[in-house]
Structure 1
Amino acid sequence: MASSSEIYFELVELSGRIVAKGTWSATLLANRLYQCAHLAKPGHRCRLLHGSREIKPITPLAALDLSLGICIQVVWLFSCAAARHSQSQAFAAIKADGSVVTWGDARGGDSSAIAPLLTEGVVQVCLNIRAFAAVKADGSVVTWGDAVCGGDSSSVAPLLMEGVVQVFSNNQAFAAIKVDGSLVTWGVATCGGDSSALAPLLTEGIVQVCGNMRAFVAIKADGSAVTWGGSGSGGDSSAVAPLLTEGIVQVCGSSTAFAAIKADGSVVTWGDAGCGGNSSAVATLLTDGVVQVCGNAMAFAAIKADGSVVTWGHAGCGGDSSVAPRLMESVVQVCGSRMAFAALKADGSVVTWGQAGCGGDSSAVASLLTQGVVQICGNAMSFAAIKSDGSVVTWGDAGFGGNSSAVTPLLTQGVIQVYSNIQAFAAIKADGSVVTWGSASCGGDSSAVAQLLTEGIVQVF
């Protein structure tokens, strides 16, 4: 065991898999634990729980109650690279052997044309509305689906043969970060697939990319941000350019706007005013203390360090929170559907607001959302919540997965992660199997590949 100046911890997923273990100096903050967790799933965010208590990145390790044990539970949230729900109409699952299984809409769900390239070595899959891109362990990229949307990457093929570490997408284009910090883009030119106009700014130092429907934002190592793509969707950030030269640590998109968190906890917004690009109505609340921003199609919700939530954008889609008194403290995660939000509180309860038909009204399952929830996932019109006992609760539009009664017996226990695309959900269970529901044509029906989803699934995109 560690000495009195050091603390031994094990970071463990809900499945029981150990993500990391070791000793850390008691003088450090818990952000070191978060860094170790993020190495296990690059591009994903998580919550860390010690017993029933949430550990914040700023929590001193010395402040943790060691009587609760050495186990730190890792609860994976949605990808920070895609802060909104996926727009895809298909799914791709990576298995433990590095192979990929796809299903759903043929534009991406059918990967037969490049199947031999997906039998091993895949470490990440990124998808947009009609195409997929897979990063392999050797740093190469394989693409398929609609050619125009990036399924055909032949125009940049020499740049995707090695050195790629992560791929990001918006609705119709892709952007790949290479090991040297340069960026490669392809897909619909007007949506960011062509970044030649600012190529000199993308040759080095890129550390993160965020996309919305038609534009991209890249964060550089010096904290500056570079934007391109549809000008009305945030691709043109000239109105706030002086605020994007340094200190940017995270960017989130709505459908046609962006919100950036700076190192001082302030927020900068730009793009379509009606979709959250104009945050002037709540500007005084966004000058400091913001730690996370989530976007749906039409609005944003920001969590502050005190656990309160600030919303802006289209009022009827969650930009005006009708449940504000319940969002003044203890919020630890916010998730968006197309026009609604769901917030997870530290006590495991859930608060929803926005368009009722998009999951903003959770009254039908309210009694199931008062405690024990550890993760929320949303698609365009509905939500799914995982509880600490491994069961799943769903609400929202029935055809989009808000009604999971067809697979209820499979969702009563053992679920460790839920993923979504635009109209369906896929849940990974502790035994490595996958359960799907929602729109059949968008992957809610996985019967065609059922035999490939019974074991060994480690991630779904």
Structure 2
Amino acid sequence: MATSSDVFFELPELSGLEVAAGTCSATLRANCSYQCAHLAKPGRRCRLLQGSLEIAPITPLAALGLISGTCIPVVWPSSSAADRHPLSRAFASIKADGGVVTWGDARAGGDSSAVASLLTEGVVQVCRTSHAFAAIKADGGVVAWGDAGRGGHFLGVAPLLTGGVVHVCGNSNAIAAIKTDGSVVTWGNFGRKGGSGDSSAVAPLLTEGVIQICGSYFAFAARKADGSVVTWGDVVGGGDSSAVASLLTDGSVHVCGSNRAFAAIKTDGSVVTWGFAGGGGDSSAVAPLLIEGVVHVSGNSHAFAAIKADGRVVTWGDADRGGNSSAVAPLLTEGVVHVCGSSRAFAAIKTDGSVVTWGFARGGGDSSAVAPFMTEGVVHVCGNSNAFAAIKADGSVVTWGFAGRGGDSSAVAPLLTEGIVHVCGNSNAFAAKKADGSVVTWGDAGSGGNSSSVAPLLTEGVVHVC
């Protein structure tokens, strides 16, 4: 199981795609390989590499100089801040045949009956907003459902979503899709100071070259193949990056969001931040620690945590929500390999499999109640709004935080003692996928913590939960 959140770690899940015999067509792009990877692991984000360089979906294969039998490394990062829960109250699972099962708050996308006929097969990725979902099918077409104003309907851009989509990303009220040619299509909420469903203000910059999109609550940031970053949406919440524009023209290798700010890692390991100052947009207090050596950044609602190459952690943003980690500072000076946020706290996994937590106590920042279970063997941590769930090497799960939102998993404890390979959190609940393809849920019943209405569909064959 992968324990990293992006390719900057040494521990991502790796595989490879072999180049078929014959010369690559001058017009064939790497998206064909991305589609193969998506079919192999539906629902999972992936990145293709050539040496230390990332191959974008828009890259012409002929330009890579590949020969028959060449193996292209594929990285499947585990769930991370890049896929943060946008306060959703529903879940969607992809099954081995590409069908989709949904449950939870019907108004938030838990009821997909209106598009059921389009979700019986072929789905390779699903993303969500606070009240809707969007799914990519193997042919590159998109299906959306849920609240129409928050991404569940894309009538205005429908002709652009019939094929060629390689990735979809949601924030609270809108969705952005990357196409094979690196262009971007957006839909959803158009309010909130130039809401992020409307990208017309930066449309000329989104016609090609985009390889990553990240959402804050009401804004998006798109990273391009040339290392530049384009932003739009709520001007206070990260949609306006003009204050740091000169630092975002090249060299960006990853972008991460909190609810109201963004942080970009550059090739030299430095970090650039923008957006609402109190939400992590102002990192001046720790600036000397962010000029080099950063390999990963994770965001929660109002703060960021950065891991450096030597395994230490640097935090900034709202002090009460994890921006101040001084209470556990001696435990964060080395050996950290993964950091995950709930809305108001952080949890860090160390090389020995132990876990360190900080931030709002009731939101998961205080893990003392389960401390004996987290001194070793933890391989992954997932957060929701106010709780965490940790997977251990033996496949068991440990939970803590606000009891009613998934911090208390005692009702399903016998089902969480072994075999868990993935955990996903939404606003108030968790869903865990087992090695046998079944799913276990807990937390707030109305938010998907109770999946009894679709239980017969979740006993086997599930390959991903969002």
Q: Normalising to structure 2: TM-score of the pair?
A: 0.84
Match of 1:270 in 2: 274
Cα 1:225/1:187, change in 2 over 3 Å: same
Match of 2:167 in 1: 166
Cα 1:43/1:275, change in 2 over 3 Å: farther
Separation in 1, partners of 2:221, 2:44:
15
Give the % identical residues.
Answer: 66
- Answering whether residue 291 of structure 2 is matched by residue 290 of structure 1, we say no
Q: What is the CA-CA distance between 1:191 and the residue it aligns to?
A: 2.5
Separation in 2, partners of 1:44, 1:391:
24
Separation in 1, partners of 2:439, 2:105:
18
Find 1:340's aligned residue among 337, 342, 345: 345
Separation in 2, partners of 1:341, 1:428:
23
- SS of the aligned residue for 1:201 comes to helix
Cα 1:44/1:164, change in 2 over 3 Å: closer
Match of 1:356 in 2: 361
Separation in 2, partners of 1:325, 1:38:
41
Match of 1:30 in 2: none
Q: Which amino acid aligns with 2:206?
A: L
Separation in 2, partners of 1:252, 1:372:
27
Cα 1:259/1:341, change in 2 over 3 Å: same
- Answering whether residue 83 of structure 2 is matched by residue 101 of structure 1, we say no
Match of 2:462 in 1: 457
- SS of the aligned residue for 1:234 comes to helix
- Answering whether residue 458 of structure 2 is matched by residue 446 of structure 1, we say no
Please list every run of at least 4 consecutive aligned residues from structure 1 whose deviation after the TM superposition is greater than 4 angstroms.
18-22, 37-43
Cα 1:407/1:75, change in 2 over 3 Å: farther
Does the CA contact (< 8 Å) of 2:81 and 2:298 recur in 1? no
Separation in 1, partners of 2:12, 2:247:
39
Does the CA contact (< 8 Å) of 1:44 and 1:80 recur in 2? no
Does the CA contact (< 8 Å) of 1:75 and 1:374 recur in 2? no
- SS of the aligned residue for 2:424 comes to strand
CA deviations 1:147-169 (Å, max 9, x no partner) are 10111101100000010011011
- SS of the aligned residue for 1:85 comes to coil
RMSD, aligned α-carbons: 2.4
Aligned residues: 411
Separation in 1, partners of 2:313, 2:342:
17
Separation in 2, partners of 1:45, 1:445:
30
Match of 1:130 in 2: 131
- Answering whether residue 237 of structure 2 is matched by residue 215 of structure 1, we say no
Cα 1:198/1:167, change in 2 over 3 Å: same
Match of 1:194 in 2: 198
Q: What is the CA-CA distance between 1:78 and the residue it aligns to?
A: 1.2
Does the CA contact (< 8 Å) of 1:96 and 1:458 recur in 2? yes
Separation in 1, partners of 2:365, 2:280:
18
Q: What is the CA-CA distance between 1:86 and the residue it aligns to?
A: 4.0
Find 1:396's aligned residue among 380, 398, 401: 401
Does the CA contact (< 8 Å) of 1:85 and 1:336 recur in 2? no
Match of 2:112 in 1: 111
- SS of the aligned residue for 1:125 comes to strand
Cα 1:361/1:80, change in 2 over 3 Å: closer
Q: Normalising to structure 1: TM-score of the pair?
A: 0.85
Match of 2:319 in 1: 315
Q: What is the CA-CA distance between 1:80 and the residue it aligns to?
A: 5.4
Match of 1:52 in 2: none
- SS of the aligned residue for 2:78 comes to strand
Match of 2:371 in 1: 366
- Answering whether residue 304 of structure 2 is matched by residue 300 of structure 1, we say yes
Match of 1:70 in 2: none
CA deviations 1:214-251 (Å, max 9, x no partner) are 00000011000000000000100000000000001111
Q: Which amino acid aligns with 2:391?
A: I
